[in-house]
């Protein structure tokens, strides 16, 4: 039985996934809402997108899945996109808000 | 994964000809612009030729190419058959050339050009309507696409009938239907399409959230009613209905501008990149057109009406389209060439795939030309109009260069 993986490990793995339009990773954008890990190290990532019609919708889901699968010991990975709560800039990390706001 | 990619982002080889041909015909149209004067703009049949070259060859070509990518984005479903688009651009390009030459030199070419343009647009409409049938979530944008496509169909049928009248002597009252053709295509299709698309694209690129959408919902209803009423006014040959329908269009445009202000106020992303600056000039031009047009209508002032049309077409349409090309083309190139490399090697960001200096030159030359030529039209000055047109032609050279630069971007792929 492998060691139980943690939510932090999952979030750190997803930090490698960068939105090419804004140039920030999905975690610092605040798009990753939760990571649910069961006893068998199956992971369910709950995330949103900054807009419903994102043309990278499918690819972002796949990249998140691929990134989490690289964690040693992880079993199955599922990614769920949710629209509630709706994403807004207040969910992003401070340095992202500052950078997007033109340094304001 | 391939299935998914194809569904939401059609192959770049399918879309890139729209952008290459569209920006080339934009360049040709802009190079021809200084040959006109502030006065000849009003009366010359060559102006009609030029207008079709610009509106079909650039505006419609780029809109159709962008729609290949944007329809799945805004409708949240894949195309019915995106392969239809392989037929659209050659038919539209050759049809446009025939129409421009037909108007300028050889009227007998007009029905042939008109037919090719009509067929290309019917193919576009067929794919769009069959794609709409797959949609489950009916948003404002979905409604605008449905309504605008109906207006486009009516507008191009009227246009085709007029081309038969000019080229083949078919009995169609051109005086009666010309206004309806212009309002259906420019107001009913181009402007309302921009209204619908902007409600997805502006919040997406500006990261705007939580704004009230009441103004645009009302704008859409009032503008659609205005366009439909104008058609009725043409059918009944009623000046009063035509007058009221134009007033409705002005009110709708005002509400739309209010909506844009609300989106602007709630944006999280405040960089002043080439896209943002283009939006400022585009919407600024629409505001100028909206101030001038009602005065022109009520006072029956032809010069003012012409200047309002100038800012609508050369300011609002042109800057909205060109500005979005700096977002859409890099995305498509990135998606095609770099997205398969994500996680395997370093890939560029979309902002790295814009030629910043050329884009800045394009923006400033075009903006300076727009204002200078607009003032030239307003005061009947040939010198100002031609000077402004020359600036816009220079801007178009940089636009064409930028498009080719973005399409050919392969940095980091060599090794």
- Chain A nearest CA to B269, separation (Å): 5
pLDDT tens-place string over residues B277-336: 999 999 999 999 999 999 999 999 999 999 999 999 999 999 999 999 999 999 999 988
Q: What is the pLDDT of residue B6?
A: 42
The larger pLDDT score, comparing residue B253 to residue A84, is at B253
The answer to whether B140 contacts chain A (CB < 8 Å) is no
> Band of the pLDDT at B25, cuts 50, 70, 90?
very high
CATH, residue A70: 3.30.300.130
Residue of chain B with shortest Cα separation from A70: B343
> Band of the pLDDT at B7, cuts 50, 70, 90?
low
Q: How many Cβ pairs closer than 8 A exist between chain A and B?
A: 77
Q: What is the pLDDT of residue B4?
A: 35
Which of A50, A66, A101 has the CB atom closest to B270's CB atom? A101
Question: Cβ separation of B349 and A23 shorter than 8 Å?
Answer: yes
Residue B3 reports pLDDT greater than 50: no
Residue with tokens 């909205």: B320
Q: What is the pLDDT of residue B75?
A: 79
The answer to whether A78 contacts chain B (CB < 8 Å) is no
Quote the CA–CA distance of B176 and B330 in Å, as a whole number.
Answer: 44
Residue B285: CB atoms within 10 A of its CB come to 26
pLDDT tens-place string over residues B234-279: 999 999 999 999 999 999 999 999 999 999 999 988 888 999 999 9
In a domain, A17, yes or no: yes
In a domain, A102, yes or no: no
Task: Scan residues 204-223 of B and list those with Cβ closer than 8 Å to A.
Answer: 204-205, 207, 209-210
Q: What is the pLDDT of residue B176?
A: 85
B339 vs A contacts (CB less than 8 Å): 56, 59
Residue B358: CB atoms within 10 A of its CB come to 20
Domain containing residue A80 = 7-92
Residue B73 reports pLDDT greater than 80: no
pLDDT tens-place string over residues B175-232: 889 999 999 999 999 999 999 889 989 999 999 988 999 999 999 999 999 999 999 9
What's the order of all strands across the beta sheet hosting A32-37? A32-37, A43-47, A77-81
The answer to whether B244 contacts chain A (CB < 8 Å) is no
> Band of the pLDDT at B2, cuts 50, 70, 90?
very low
Residue B47 reports pLDDT greater than 60: yes
Q: What is the pLDDT of residue A103?
A: 45
A65: tokens are 């899945």
The answer to whether A21 contacts chain B (CB < 8 Å) is yes
In a domain, A49, yes or no: yes
B340 vs A contacts (CB less than 8 Å): none
The answer to whether A62 contacts chain B (CB < 8 Å) is yes
| Angle made by CA atoms A20, B193, B149, in degrees to the nearest 5 | 125
Secondary structure letter of residue A31 according to DSSP: -
| Percent of chain B surpassing pLDDT 90 | 71
Q: What is the pLDDT of residue B172?
A: 80
Residue B91 near residue B84, CB atoms below 8 Å:
no
pLDDT tens-place string over residues A38-80: 999 999 999 999 887 777 888 899 999 999 999 999 999 999 9
Residue A104 reports pLDDT greater than 50: no
CA dihedral sign, ordered B20, B23, B28, B31: negative
pLDDT tens-place string over residues B127-159: 998 988 888 878 777 888 889 999 999 999 999
What average pLDDT does this structure show over A83-103? Answer: 85
Average pLDDT over all residues of chain B:
91
Residue B409 reports pLDDT greater than 80: yes
Residue with tokens 């043409």: B234
Quote the CA–CA distance of B195 and B193 in Å, as a whole number.
Answer: 5
> Band of the pLDDT at B29, cuts 50, 70, 90?
very high
Residue B354 near residue B326, CB atoms below 8 Å:
yes
Residue B376 near residue B314, CB atoms below 8 Å:
no
What average pLDDT does this structure show over A6-10? Answer: 95
Domain positions in chain B are 1-137, 141-270, 285-334+347-408
Task: Scan residues 47-106 of B and list those with Cβ closer than 8 Å to A.
Answer: 69, 72-74, 76
B161 Cβ contact list (under 8 Å, min separation 6): B170, B172, B177
Question: Cβ separation of A22 and B73 shorter than 8 Å?
Answer: no
Interface probe with A: pick from B1, B6, B73, B338, most Cβ of A within 10 Å: B73
- Residue B348 burial (10 A CB sphere; 0-12, 13-18, 19+): middle
Q: How many domains does chain A have?
A: 1
In a domain, A1, yes or no: no
Nearest CA to A87 out of B268, B261, B327, B262 is that of B268
In a domain, A62, yes or no: yes
What average pLDDT does this structure show over B87-104? Answer: 95
């Amino acid at each position: 039985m492998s060691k139980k993986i943690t939510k932090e490990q999952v979030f750190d793995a997803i930090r490698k996934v960068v939105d090419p339009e804004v140039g920030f990773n999905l975690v610092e954008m605040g798009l990753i809402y939760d990571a649910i890990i069961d006893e068998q190290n199956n992971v369910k990532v709950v995330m949103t997108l900054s807009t419903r019609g994102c043309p990278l919708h499918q690819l972002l889901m796949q990249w998140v899945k691929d990134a989490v699968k690289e964690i040693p010991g992880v079993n199955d990975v599922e990614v769920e996109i949710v629209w509630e709560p709706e994403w807004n800039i207040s969910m992003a990390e401070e340095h992202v808000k500052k950078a997007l706001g033109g340094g304001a | 994964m391939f299935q998914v990619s194809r569904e939401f982002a059609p192959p770049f080889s399918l879309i890139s000809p729209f952008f290459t041909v569209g920006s080339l015909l934009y360049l040709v149209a802009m190079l021809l612009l200084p040959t006109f004067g502030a006065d000849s703009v009003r009366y010359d049949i060559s102006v009609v030729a030029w207008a079709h070259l610009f509106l079909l060859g650039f505006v419609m070509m780029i809109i159709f190419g962008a729609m290949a990518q944007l329809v799945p984005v805004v409708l949240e479903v894949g195309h019915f058959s995106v392969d239809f688009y392989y037929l659209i651009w050659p038919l539209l390009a050759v049809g446009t050339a025939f129409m421009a030459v037909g108007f300028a030199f050889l009227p007998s070419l007009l029905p042939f050009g008109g037919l090719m343009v009509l067929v290309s647009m019917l193919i576009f409409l067929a794919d769009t309507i069959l794609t709409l049938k797959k949609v489950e979530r009916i948003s404002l944008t979905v409604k605008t696409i449905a309504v605008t496509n109906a207006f486009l169909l009516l507008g191009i049928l009227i246009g085709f009938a007029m081309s038969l009248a000019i080229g083949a002597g078919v009995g169609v009252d051109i005086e009666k239907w010309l206004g309806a053709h212009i309002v259906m295509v420019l107001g009913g299709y181009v402007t309302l399409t921009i209204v619908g698309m902007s409600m997805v694209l502006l919040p997406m690129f500006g990261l705007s959230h939580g704004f009230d959408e009441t103004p645009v919902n009302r704008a859409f209803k009032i503008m659609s009613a205005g366009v439909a009423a104008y058609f009725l006014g043409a059918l009944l040959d009623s000046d009063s209905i035509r007058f009221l329908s134009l007033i409705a269009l002005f009110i709708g445009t005002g509400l739309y501008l209010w909506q844009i202000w609300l989106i602007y106020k709630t944006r999280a992303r405040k960089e002043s990149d080439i896209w943002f600056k283009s939006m400022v000039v585009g919407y600024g031009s629409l505001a100028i057109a909206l101030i001038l047009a009602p005065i022109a209508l009520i006072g029956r002032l032809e010069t003012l009406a012409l200047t309002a049309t100038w800012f609508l077409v050369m300011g609002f349409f042109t800057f909205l389209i060109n500005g979005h090309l700096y977002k859409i083309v890099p995305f498509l190139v990135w998606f095609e060439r770099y997205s398969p490399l994500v996680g395997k090697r370093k890939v560029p960001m979309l902002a790295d795939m814009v030629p910043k200096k050329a884009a800045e030159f394009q923006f400033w030359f075009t903006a300076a030309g727009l204002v200078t030529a607009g003032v030239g039209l307003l005061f009947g000055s040939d010198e100002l109009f031609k000077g402004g047109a020359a600036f816009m032609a220079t801007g178009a050279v940089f636009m064409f260069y930028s498009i080719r630069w973005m399409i050919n971007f392969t940095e980091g792929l060599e090794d």
